[in-house]
Amino acid sequence: DSGVTQTPKHLITATGQRVTLRCSPRSGDLSVYWYQQSLDQGLQFLIQYYNGEERAKGNILERFSAQQFPDLHSELNLSSLELGDSALYFCASSIHSGGADTQYFGPGTRLTVL
């Protein structure tokens, strides 16, 4: 158990819908990262927050947005969902914002768009 929690574990929805994925980082970690992993693909970095502020942005679609709240939990919002958005979405956390920080991953949310 990494100490990072994600809810829900599974999510099945229809095209065009909007969903929210939730992540609680390890106690004491200030950074939260979101990744997308499609079938047989690597981990695609979406976005990073550090202590409530956006720190880095990857290949995140405009239909996707995220935020980190004062209690450091984070939410990833996916809207106007398409079939291609079906994937595993991982949240990871680390103490600081980079450098040699180890990232600890949550169990992931499996999103299926029908």
Partner 1 sequence: GQSLEQPSEVTAVEGAIVQINCTYQTSGFYGLSWYQQHDGGAPTFLSYNALDGLEETGRFSSFLSRSDSYGYLLLQELQMKDSASYFCAVRDLGNTPLVFGKGTRLSVIA
Contact footprint for partner 1 (CB under 8 A): 2, 33, 41-43, 45, 48, 50, 55-56, 58, 90, 92, 97-100, 102-108
Q: 111 is written with which tokens?
A: 């999103």
CB of 41 to partner 1, least distance (A): 7
Between residues 25 and 108, which has the closer beta carbon with respect to partner 1?
108
Listed in sequence order, the DSSP H helices in the chain are: none
Q: What is the identity of the amino acid at 76?
A: L
Between residues 73 and 110, which has the closer beta carbon with respect to partner 1?
110
CB of 19 to partner 1, least distance (A): 20
Task: Please count the other Cβ atoms lying within 10 Å of the Cβ belonging to residue 103.
Answer: 19
SS3 state at 57: strand
